[in-house]
């Protein structure tokens, strides 16, 4: 078993290797990043267009649009979740016995699964290019090996992405769960009572504390799985093995990895502000991560 405790991540070296490696491979990295950017921009528009042209999905879209309008309207905000709950209940009752509706949902789920598989394949390519851009030696044998296992790597990367996203999804969902509980509680309680006032204060504190705690735990898990993508391209396509190795690699270097995470977060913010900055930003982020991974591996 390899020991990573005696290894070190030098952030200055990592940044230097990042810009040097990105400069060498910027055309390929930016090309793949552009495809990822265009595909991610194209999918929501296609889904929205498809949804509005489908009689089974259009009512659901309209329901959530109405909910969005209500939640930002002071007059209707109080009843927004109740209206959403009643509308969805009515829609479910109308569509649950429809064979066409279930067939449509199955097609959409299959289409999304295929799309995310292709997206994961693009990210695998980005990882492979980033990893090789900070290496001095590149062999054709390694490229052929990676190409032959690309389908396994893609599926494994999809599984790992889901594992990373689930904790964040749960954290973000916490406020909505509390709001739904609040709807049920208020509907059975005198809204003018002192107990309700205390309940609101306690509920708000629980929402804030639970969400913050959930995000901290999610970030911790994300950092411990920081190198899983690189591990499946180099060692094994088994996602469980990738999780185990990444957990061992990051154990003694969490502080430095967190700094790298903050740098990539800044790149994401700048990319979001400039939109087109996502294209070079993706290459820079993965090259920086590749350099940190290389320092622990060498």
Q: Residue 127 falls within a domain, yes or no?
A: yes
Q: What was the pLDDT predicted at 101?
A: 75
Q: What was the pLDDT predicted at 63?
A: 83
Task: Check whether 204 has a pLDDT greater than 80.
Answer: no
More confident residue, 200 or 168: 168
C-alpha to C-alpha distance for 179 and 107, rounded to whole angstroms: 32
Q: In sequence order, which ranges of the chain are alpha helices (DSSP H)?
A: 11-52, 58-71, 80-95, 99-133, 140-148, 150-186, 194-224, 228-234, 239-250, 254-274, 278-297
Q: What was the pLDDT predicted at 39?
A: 86
C-alpha to C-alpha distance for 277 and 157, rounded to whole angstroms: 24
Q: Residue 87 falls within a domain, yes or no?
A: no
- pLDDT band of residue 179 (cuts 50, 70, 90) is low
Q: What was the pLDDT predicted at 2?
A: 66
More confident residue, 7 or 262: 262
Asked whether the beta carbons of 120 and 162 are under 8 A apart, the reply is no
Q: What was the pLDDT predicted at 136?
A: 75
* Average pLDDT over every residue of 268-275: 86
Q: Residue 5 falls within a domain, yes or no?
A: no
Q: What is the pTM of this model?
A: 0.80
Contacts 24+ apart (CB under 8 A), 52-57: 54/104, 56/95, 56/98, 56/100, 56/101, 56/104, 57/104
The residues, ordered by sequence, that sit 6+ positions from 87 with a Cβ below 8 Å of its Cβ are: 63, 66, 67
- pLDDT band of residue 283 (cuts 50, 70, 90) is very high
Asked whether the beta carbons of 295 and 13 are under 8 A apart, the reply is yes
- pLDDT band of residue 7 (cuts 50, 70, 90) is confident
Q: Residue 65 falls within a domain, yes or no?
A: no
Look up residue 284 and give its two tokens. 């820079």
Q: What was the pLDDT predicted at 16?
A: 93
Q: Helices 11-52 and 99-133, interaxial angle, to 10°?
A: 160
Q: What was the pLDDT predicted at 247?
A: 94
Q: Residue 3 falls within a domain, yes or no?
A: no
Q: What was the pLDDT predicted at 173?
A: 84
pLDDT, one tens digit per residue, over 32-63 is 999 998 888 887 777 766 666 667 777 877 88
Q: Residue 103 falls within a domain, yes or no?
A: yes
C-alpha to C-alpha distance for 15 and 82, rounded to whole angstroms: 51
Q: How many domains does the chain have?
A: 1
Q: How far is CA 22 from the centre of its chain?
A: 24
pLDDT, one tens digit per residue, over 66-111 is 877 877 776 665 677 677 777 877 877 777 777 777 787 788 888 8
Q: Residue 129 falls within a domain, yes or no?
A: yes
Query: Closest by alpha carbon to 102, among 112, 92, 88, 90?
Result: 92
Q: What percent of the chain has pLDDT over 70?
A: 84
Domain that holds residue 258: 13-56+98-297
Task: Check whether 255 has a pLDDT greater than 90.
Answer: yes
- pLDDT band of residue 294 (cuts 50, 70, 90) is very high
Identify the helix (H) or strand (E) that includes residue 49. helix 11-52
Tokens 């005696």 sit on residue: 6
Q: What percent of the chain has pLDDT over 90?
A: 42
Task: Check whether 189 has a pLDDT greater than 80.
Answer: no
Q: Residue 181 falls within a domain, yes or no?
A: yes
């Amino acid at each position: 078993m390899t020991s990573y405790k005696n290894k070190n991540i030098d952030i200055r070296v990592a940044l230097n290797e990042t810009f040097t490696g990105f400069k060498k491979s910027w055309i390929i990295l930016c090309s793949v990043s552009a495809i990822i950017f265009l595909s991610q921009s194209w999918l929501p528009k296609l889904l929205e267009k498809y949804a509005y042209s489908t009689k089974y999905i259009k009512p659901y879209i309209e329901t959530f649009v109405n909910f969005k309008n209500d939640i930002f309207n002071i007059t209707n905000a109080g009843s927004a979740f109740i209206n959403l709950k009643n509308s969805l209940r009515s829609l479910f009752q109308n569509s649950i016995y429809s064979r066409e509706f279930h067939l449509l949902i199955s097609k959409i789920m299959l289409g999304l699964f295929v799309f995310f598989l292709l997206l994961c394949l693009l990210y695998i390519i980005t990882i492979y290019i980033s990893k090789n851009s900070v290496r001095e030696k590149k062999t054709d044998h390694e490229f052929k090996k990676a190409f032959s296992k690309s389908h396994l790597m893609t599926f494994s990367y999809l599984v790992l992405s889901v594992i990373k996203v689930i904790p964040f999804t749960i954290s973000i969902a916490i406020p909505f769960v509390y709001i739904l509980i609040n709807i049920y509680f208020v509907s059975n309680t005198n809204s003018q009572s002192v107990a309700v006032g205390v309940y609101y204060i306690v509920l708000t504190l629980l929402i804030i504390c639970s969400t913050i705690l959930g995000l901290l735990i999610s970030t911790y898990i994300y950092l411990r799985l920081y190198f899983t993508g690189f591990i499946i391209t180099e060692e094994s396509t088994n996602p469980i093995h990738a999780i185990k190795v990444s957990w061992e690699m990051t154990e003694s270097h969490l502080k430095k990895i967190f700094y790298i995470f903050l740098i990539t977060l800044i790149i994401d913010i700048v990319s979001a502000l400039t939109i087109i900055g996502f294209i070079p930003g993706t290459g820079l982020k993965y090259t920086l991560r590749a350099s940190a991974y290389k320092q622990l591996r060498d």
